[in-house]
Structure 1
Amino acid sequence: MLIDVIIPAFNEASAIGKVIADIPDFVRNIIVVNNNSKDDTRQVSQAAGAIVLDEPQKGYGKACLKGLSYLDNMDFPPDIVVFLDADYSDYPEEMEIILEPILQKKMDMVIGSRAKGSRENGSMTVPQIFGNWLATKLMCQLFKAEFSDLGPFRAIRWDKLKALDMEDENYGWTIEMQIKAVKNGLKYTEVPVNYRKRIGVSKVSGTVKGVFGAGYKILYTIWKYR
C-alpha cells in the first residue's frame, strides 16, 4: 500500500530534520508544509529529503489542506495518509503501530493516543490535558464517540479522508476529522503512543493566546457538528 506523510511546520528548523530522519523507510512521500516559517524550516526539510510545499497563510488546518491538495493531484494518490507534528514530540518510528490496525484489522482511521501511552513529564501542559479530556468527553456524550485524545499522530485511508470533506483551517482540524469520522460511520480505533517534550516553544500551548484560541475553536467545532 502507498503511504504518504503530511507534516505541517511553522518555525521548526531545529526539530524537523530529526522528525524526517526517524520516519520509516516504507513511507513513499514525506510532505512538509512550510506554514510561513521565518527560519530555515524549508531548507532543513529539503536537505533531509522531504517534499516541501509553501502555505503562506498560517493555520494548522490550512497547512494540512495544502498537503491534501498536493496528494489529490498526484497520478497515484496514496492508500493511507499519516499526519504527525514537526516538533519531535511524536515518535515517528512508532508509525507501524499506528498503521497496523488499518493494514491488519481493516480499520479506516487510527488515532495515536497520548492519554493511553507514556508521556514524558512536562510534555503536555495542564490546559492541554484538560482540553483533551473535555473535548473527548463531549464527543462521547454528543456523538457516542470513543476517543481519549485529539492526538496529532494519526493515520487514515485516503478514500475515507477525501469523503470527510475537511474544511477547518486552524485549531479545529483534528477534532473535525474525528467527529466527521464518527458521523460518517468510519471504522476507527486508538493505539497508545509515547510522547516527549517538544523541541522549542509551542505556538499553541506555549502562549495564552494560543491556549484560548485552540480551546475556543475546539468547542466551537463540537457545537457546529453536534
Structure 2
Amino acid sequence: MTRIRVIIPAINEEGSIARVIRDIPSFVSEVIVVDNQSTDHTAQEAQKAGATLLYEPKMGYGYACLKGLAYLRELKEPTEIVVFLDGDYSDYPEEMDKIVAPIIKDDMDLVIGARVKSKREPGSMTVPQIFGNWLATTLMRLFFNSKFTDLGPFRAIKYKKLLALNMEDKTYGWTVEMQLKALRQKLTYTEVDIKYRNRIGESKVSGTVKGSVMAGVKILGWIFKYTFK
C-alpha cells in the first residue's frame, strides 16, 4: 500500500481544522498539522482530531511547509506521496483520491487540484486571487510552455521528487516555486478539477490588502527569476 502523508499549515483555524482532518480519507498514513503561531485553539483541535502536531514559530506558509518536510525526513517509515492541504475547509479533503490517483495509477510526479469556475462556490475566490492565478499561469505558459491553470494549494507530489526540488520559499511563493521547479526539472504533472467552497474564517492572504499584494509580488518574483535565470 502506498504510504501517503498530508501536511496542513494552519494559523487560527480552530473552527475548521477538525473538519478538515475528519474528511481526509482513511488510506492516508498520517496527517501532520503545522501550527504557525495560532492564537486560538487550532493546536488542541488538531490533536483531538488525531493529527500529528508540529509548531513553527516563524510566520509564513513556506516556513510551515518546510517544517513538515523536516519532520518527514526524520521518520523511519518512508513517505511515498506528500499531499498539501489548507486548514480552512475550502477544499474537499474527501477528493484526495482524485488528487493522488494520477500518481498511483499513471506514475505522474505532481498533481495540482484545479479550482475550476464550474466547481467553485460563489465568492470562494476573491478577485485578486482569480486575477493572480490567471496572470501567473499565463506567464508560465508563455515563458515555460506550461499547462498549469491554477496555483491551488491542494496538491500531491512524490516525496522523492519533492526533496529534489530543494524548496526554499518561506512565505507566499511556495506553490508557484514548486510548479516552476517541476517545470525546470521536467517532472511529469497534471491537474484534476476539484470543488472549492467558501472558507471558514478569514483568509490570512487574500483576505487582506497587504497579503494580496505580498503574494502577488512573491509569485511574480519567482516567475521572473526563473524566466531570466
TM-score, normalised via structure 2 length = 0.97
Report the equivalent of 2:204.
203
Shift of 1:116: 6.2
TM-score, normalised via structure 1 length = 0.99
Moved over 4 A (4+): none
State whether residues 35 and 59 of structure 1, in contact with CA within 8 Å, keep that contact through their aligned partners in structure 2.
Answer: yes
Cα 1:126–1:116 change in 2 (3 A) is closer
Partner SS state of residue 119, structure 2:
coil
Letter in 2 for 1:18: R
Report the equivalent of 2:15.
14
**1:90 and 2:57 matched:** no
Report the equivalent of 2:65.
64
Report the equivalent of 2:31.
30
Q: What do residues 11-39 of structure 1 show as CA deviations (whole Å, max 9, x unaligned)?
A: 10111000000000010010000001111
d(CA) in 2 for partners of 1:219 and 1:158? 26
Letter in 2 for 1:172: G
State whether residues 116 and 193 of structure 1, in contact with CA within 8 Å, keep that contact through their aligned partners in structure 2.
Answer: no
Report the equivalent of 1:41.
42
Unaligned runs of 5+ in 2: none
Unaligned runs of 5+ in 1: none
Q: What do residues 92-119 of structure 1 show as CA deviations (whole Å, max 9, x unaligned)?
A: 0000000110011110100000026500
Report the equivalent of 2:130.
129
CA RMSD of aligned residues (A): 0.8
d(CA) in 2 for partners of 1:106 and 1:82? 15
**1:52 and 2:63 matched:** no
State whether residues 98 and 192 of structure 2, in contact with CA within 8 Å, keep that contact through their aligned partners in structure 1.
Answer: yes
d(CA) in 1 for partners of 2:109 and 2:117? 20
Report the equivalent of 2:113.
112
Q: What do residues 159-190 of structure 1 show as CA deviations (whole Å, max 9, x unaligned)?
A: 10000000000100000000000100100000
State whether residues 31 and 67 of structure 1, in contact with CA within 8 Å, keep that contact through their aligned partners in structure 2.
Answer: yes
d(CA) in 1 for partners of 2:60 and 2:118? 27
Letter in 1 for 2:14: A
Shift of 1:86: 0.3
Percent identical residues: 62
Shift of 1:144: 1.2
Shift of 1:216: 0.6
State the number of aligned residues: 226
Report the equivalent of 2:219.
218
State whether residues 133 and 151 of structure 2, in contact with CA within 8 Å, keep that contact through their aligned partners in structure 1.
Answer: yes
Shift of 1:223: 1.2
